[in-house]
Amino acid sequence: MSRELVRYLLTRFGQLLLIIFVAVSINFIIPRLLPGDPVQTALARLQATGGAQNVDIQAISAAYRAKYGLDAPLLEQYANYWLDLFRLDLGVSFANFPEKVSTMIGNALPWSVSLLAVATLIAFATGSLLGARLAWPTAGRGIKAFVPLMMILTSIPFYLLAIILIYFFAVVLKWFPPAGGVDTTRIMRLDWATTEDILRHAFLPCLAIILGNVGFWALGMRSQMVSVLGEDYITFAEAKGLHPRRIFVWYGMRNALLAQVTALALSLGSVVSGAVLVEVIFNYPGLGSLLYVAIRGQDYFVIQGVVLMLIVSLAVLLFLVDLIYPLLDPRIRR
Amino acid sequence: MSAIQDSKPILVVEDLNVHYDTGKGPAKAVNDVSFSLRPGERLGLIGESGSGKTTMATALMRLTRAPGRIAGGSVKLDGRDILKMSNKELRETRLRDIALIPQGAMSSLNPVMRLEEQMIDAIVAHKPGMRRAELDARVQELLKNVGLAPEVARRYPHELSGGMKQRAAMAIATSLAPKVIVADEPTSALDVVVQRQVMQTLGRLQDGLGAAVVLIGHDMGLIAQFADTVGVMYAGKLVEIGPVRQMIESPKHPYTRLLVDSLPGIEVKRELTGIPGLPPPLVDLPPGCSFNPRCPLAFERCVRETPLLQQVAPGQSAACHLYPEHAALPPLPPMTRAHQELRP
């Protein structure tokens, strides 16, 4: 058992490293396949705004290329890229010049991770519970009314939902701030006032993600649960005289959740990209907003850094799901 | 046998009706079925696919699910009607007094729980105060009773063979020494060698517990070996019931006769006969006796009037209009042209 487990873990870890290697390489190659390069783009903008002379441009361009190592052969650049990565050096931002990309990502990351993790977990847990309850034969009319509501919520895109929420709760009712991660005048300290401020700002974006996702989880769980409840082991559990609550949780939900966890793993990518839009709308200081601003400003190194970050974190999350899955389903513990 | 006949019945089923609601009206899968069972008695219920056997087995434990519905009758276990119990009483009665050995033993165990957990949760549901050590000891005892090794307790269902799963289901079903065991085709997915072992185990368990058994199946040979009493079901109705020897040697209902004739004999080699035609659709039963379109002895009354179960010999009843006018079943005429055409 334990030897098999070790082999399983090693295989999965190897896959994780492979995914990261491929992702990093693609992230290196793609921008270099595009016509033009960051230096040209930056200089073109400089030219448009500052009106510099043509002669100067050539010299500046060469200087920049040397500075960023873009004049070296491709393989050498690739090797340097990896070396930089190991030193956590993702380059510098063009838009906010001397600022390091790694610092910018470091500042944005905690906001995104906490928002996404909390919202996704709440949506997954409540959605699954609600879906399971919907499939249970004693589901009343009250709870069944959730089905059309869920369908509407899943079909409305995140960003529209976010706009509606801002309008009602921030503009009309003024219960929550409309944007930002924390009050602009607040000095961040580890006290209750700061925490409350952060939570108040996080509430609406969190709600938007939850509302946008909960229907997906509920409807998926409902169909899983319906098929599980038709299984012979449910009938046999009833014949054993078990309490319905035990059958619901340990025979019904426990089995229906297997497919849900798979779906969670598969949908992590879209959860992350959906959250990017939510962050932009709420002007939330996370990775999503950082990416958005970087794309608008053609801030290549920042884009590259954030995308790399997203790919790596997705790979790590999938790895974690893979680790959890055999605990849930003994049949794949081989 | 005589001891069985003297004692008071433990299970009395009266006018049980189970319907499946369909767009064309109710399909009467169990239609006015009555029988009783004494402690220690082994009743075999036999019938073709779709004759209502499994529907009956689930109804006996009130496990009928939509679109099925128990439309009437009573199932009295030790005088208490299972069909009228509160949910709590029903839960307490299941497994403790009446237990099910399920048809699909392959899929009757929860795939994500170890066998011992599934055995223990059944026991704990009825005896909440038991200590872990006692439970473990009980699990080992139950596994031993069905011929499984102690280490099987720690396994998951996918690590067991079909025969082992069936034994495990039997261990669970007998864990509280029930008074009645309903075995719904317990050997349907097993090969003949394992079938025999499983049936022997079931017989041994039943002897040990003194429980009554309702064995449901379609294999006349298997049932004849196991049962004391045999009931024959056709299109949702019990058409004949009686002691196993009498049922085989002198069946009174033409359908039973045809079923017995369709068994291969070992000593006498003869051409096997099937029963021409197919059972009728349950939503659209023929008028009168449901068997009349396939019956070689059908006469005018059979189309007009539904026969009721009546005593035709000591301990033997049949639902057929040939009685009481005839003392025994007249010889079946060779198949007529019309019957030949009914051959599938």
Tens-place pLDDT, residues B169-189: 999 999 999 999 999 988 877
Six-digit token string for A133:
């309850």
Output the average pLDDT for chain B. 87
Nearest partner of B253 among B208, B212, B291, B215, judged by Cα: B291
Please name the member of A239, A255, A330 whose beta carbon is closest to the beta carbon of B99.
A239
**Which range, A160-174, A267-281, B199-213, has the best average confidence (pLDDT)?**
B199-213
> Which amino acid type is present at position A5?
L
- Which residues, other chains included, contact B296 with Cβ-Cβ below 8 Å and sequence gap of 6+? B254, B332, B333, B335, B336, B339
CA distance linking residue B147 with residue B161, whole number of Å: 13
Identify the residue among B65, B110, B142 best suited for mutation to test binding to A, counting A beta carbons within 10 A and taking the highest: B110
pLDDT given for residue A166 in this prediction:
85
CA angle A150, A156, A158 (to 5 degrees): 110
Q: Residue A186 in contact with residue A217, Cβ under 8 Å?
A: no
CA distance linking residue B288 with residue B60, whole number of Å: 27
**CA R_g for chain A:** 25
- pLDDT higher than 70, residue B296: yes
Question: Is A326 touching B (CB cutoff 8 A)?
Answer: no
- pLDDT higher than 90, residue B116: yes
Domain spans in chain A, listed from the N-terminal domain onward: 2-86, 107-329
| Confidence label for B344 from pLDDT (cuts 50, 70 and 90) | very low
- pLDDT higher than 50, residue A178: yes
**Average pLDDT of the residues in A105-126:** 87
pLDDT given for residue B268 in this prediction:
65
pLDDT tens digits, B30-48: 989 999 999 999 999 998 8
Specify the 3-state DSSP secondary structure of B73.
Answer: strand
| Confidence label for B343 from pLDDT (cuts 50, 70 and 90) | very low
pLDDT given for residue B215 in this prediction:
94
Q: Is the link from the previous residue into B324 a cis peptide, with omega within 30 of 0?
A: yes
pLDDT tens digits, A20-49: 899 888 888 877 776 666 677 667 766 776
Task: Determine, for residues B108 and A246 on separate chains, whether the beta-carbon distance falls below 8 Å.
Answer: no
Q: Which residues of B touch A255 (CB under 8 A)?
A: 110-112
Answer with the residue of higher pLDDT: B46 or A97: B46
* Location of structure tokens 């025999």: B196
- Which residues, other chains included, contact A138 with Cβ-Cβ below 8 Å and sequence gap of 6+? A244
pTM, 2 dp: 0.81
Q: To the nearest whole angstrom, how far is the Cα of B167 from the nearest Cα of chain A?
A: 14
Has domain A107-329 been given CATH number 1.10.3720.10?
yes
**Average pLDDT of the residues in B268-292:** 81
Going along chain B, which residue ranges are E strands?
11-22, 25-37, 42-47, 68-77, 80-81, 98-101, 180-184, 212-217, 229-234, 237-243, 310-313, 316-318
Order of strands across the sheet with B80-81? B25-37, B11-22, B68-77, B80-81
Write out residues 179-198 of A within 8 Å (CB-CB) of B. none
Q: Which residues of B touch A137 (CB under 8 A)?
A: 66
pLDDT tens digits, B90-115: 999 999 999 999 887 778 999 999 99
pLDDT given for residue A256 in this prediction:
94
Please name the member of A236, A243, A331 whose beta carbon is closest to the beta carbon of B111.
A331
Residues written for chain A? 334
Please name the member of A232, A241, A255 whose beta carbon is closest to the beta carbon of B95.
A241
| Confidence label for B261 from pLDDT (cuts 50, 70 and 90) | confident
Phi/psi of residue B239, each to 5°? -95, -25
Task: Determine, for residues B107 and A243 on separate chains, whether the beta-carbon distance falls below 8 Å.
Answer: no
CA distance linking residue B339 with residue B332, whole number of Å: 12
Please name the member of B95, B110, B156 whose beta carbon is closest to the beta carbon of A239.
B95
